[in-house]
Chain A
Amino acid sequence: MKDEVPSQVELRIPRSCEFVRVARKTAGALAHQLRFTLPDVQDIELAVGEACTNAVEHVGEHCPDILLLFSHT
């Protein structure tokens, strides 16, 4: 399964609180596919969610989107 996950995945979401969940769930799904343990998957979801929340709340109006780049080695 791990081999089926590309080394990089890009996700662009609107700068909106409603899309933080999309980023979080995507990160969790990728981590799950990479066979992280459940506690680690949950930590990754939390970290990505918090990072996106910060971005949504603090980037300026000139930035309509948030680009997430997930990569693994």
Chain B
Amino acid sequence: MATPLQIDSRLEDEGSAVLALSGEVDVSNTAQVRDAGVKLLTDGATRLVVDLSGTEYMDSAGLGTLVGLLKRVKEAGGAMAIAGPQPRVSRLFEITGLDQIFSIYQDLGTAMKEVRA
């Protein structure tokens, strides 16, 4: 009975990848998010965009998972960005100060362009 979440992970060109999270990210499903993100990295991605445009809710467990992915990406010398968070999720980044840690862009296209730069 994990919280409804759809994860779409895909490798793209130039070592880039998209991890799209649709639905609700909370403590019941962050392990799935972590596993999907780590698989993209072990499959060769060094530039990761997490698409949150379809994310309706996220809690601190979800944020912690994203921080873990960011740490892995940075240790590998790569880049990571967040794309399209809805206001509710944006606010979570702001009140935790993580908007100062993550590169956050309004849409997926801009985020992809930035991580590839």
Contacts and interface: CB of A to CB of B under 8 A. Distances in A.
Q: Across chains A and B, which 10 residue pairs bring their CB atoms closest together, nearest first? A: A17-B28, A18-B1, A17-B27, A53-B27, A21-B3, A18-B28, A49-B59, A42-B88, A20-B27, A50-B60
Nearest to A49: B59
B11 interface: no
Contacts of B26: 17, 20-21, 24, 49, 53
13 contacts: A17-B26, A17-B28, A18-B2, A19-B1, A20-B28, A21-B26, A21-B28, A42-B88, A45-B57, A46-B92, A53-B59, A53-B60, A53-B61
Contacts, number: 31
Nearest to B4: A21
Interface in B41-67: 57, 59-61
A50 B62 CA distance: 11
Interface residues of A, number: 14
B28 A50 contact: no
A56 interface: yes
Interface in B2-33: 2-3, 24, 26-28
